Amino acid sequence: MLVAERRARIVAEVRRRGAASVTELAQELGVSAMTVRRDIEALADAGELDRVRGGATTRGEAVDAGHERAFGARTQHLVAEKRAVARRAAQLVEPGMAVGLSGGTTAWVLAQELRAVPDLTVVTNSLPVAEVFRRPDRADEPYTQSVVLTGGVRTPSDALVGPVAVRALEHLHLDVVFLGVHGVDLHAGLTTPNLLEAETDRAMLAAGQDAVVLADHTKWGVVGLTTIVDLHEVERLVTDDGLDADARELIEAHVGELWVVPVERD
């Protein structure tokens, strides 16, 4: 494959997904990770894409705290932190449970952890989460999850929100619900930039016998357009050890339980 052709394919793939990792691109193209890194560097210098740690995103994906950005771009952000939070949260799930998973990349990472748990019923308003649990192509891979996908209006982060999603959740009874959030703030509580998503998230929380908020340390102090619930209404919040001591003390004083998990960083 010529260099120009390979780089064109990298640009096309990054634009299609919103973001792509070096590993994914190397596997897709059948070349080394070092080759992909050199290509990304050249393409970034040419203004074709933005280089980020571990991969690339489409130009201008970085946004302020008041807006959503493409789901694919956010999957490449704070990967180790999200994985640590997801693995700790997954310990709450047992075979046979009915589990609710909201939209967001941390819930998506958690879905990957839960794929190995048998006999789950998964209720989600997230298209990427539902995709994790789709029937496997290989006949030798067991399939023991049932997925209930709400309807609704699709957000930029591929979540289904609004009245249709709320009605779908109102009559469900889940053992545990996992909620990803845009921001966590002492005064604003859990927030999102999407008004319809706030309503849907409240319905998701109400459907769960137990509720767990998933938020890496960078969510602290971020305030979106609207509040989902106040901080004192949070039963359990799972975050990573990047959260500073002062923030931990404040959060512990307001939520039922705060779990701070260590992160294995490269």
What is residue 17's predicted lDDT score, i.e. its pLDDT? 65
- Note whether 191 and 226 are within 8 A (CB): yes
What is residue 60's predicted lDDT score, i.e. its pLDDT? 57
73-261: CATH topology: Rossmann fold (3.40.50)
Q: How is the chain split into domains, by residue range?
A: 3-62, 73-261
- For residue range 21-42, list pLDDT tens digits in order: 787 788 889 999 899 999 999 9
Does the structure show a pLDDT above 60 at 69? no
3-62: CATH topology: Arc Repressor Mutant, subunit A (1.10.10)
d(C-alpha 241, C-alpha 235), whole Å: 19
- The letter for the amino acid at 183 is G
Strand order in the sheet with 50-52: 19-21, 55-57, 50-52
Does the structure show a pLDDT above 50 at 197? yes
Pairing outcome for strands 160-161 and 183-185: unpaired
The mean predicted confidence, pLDDT, of the chain is: 87
For the entire predicted model, the pTM comes to 0.73
What is residue 52's predicted lDDT score, i.e. its pLDDT? 73
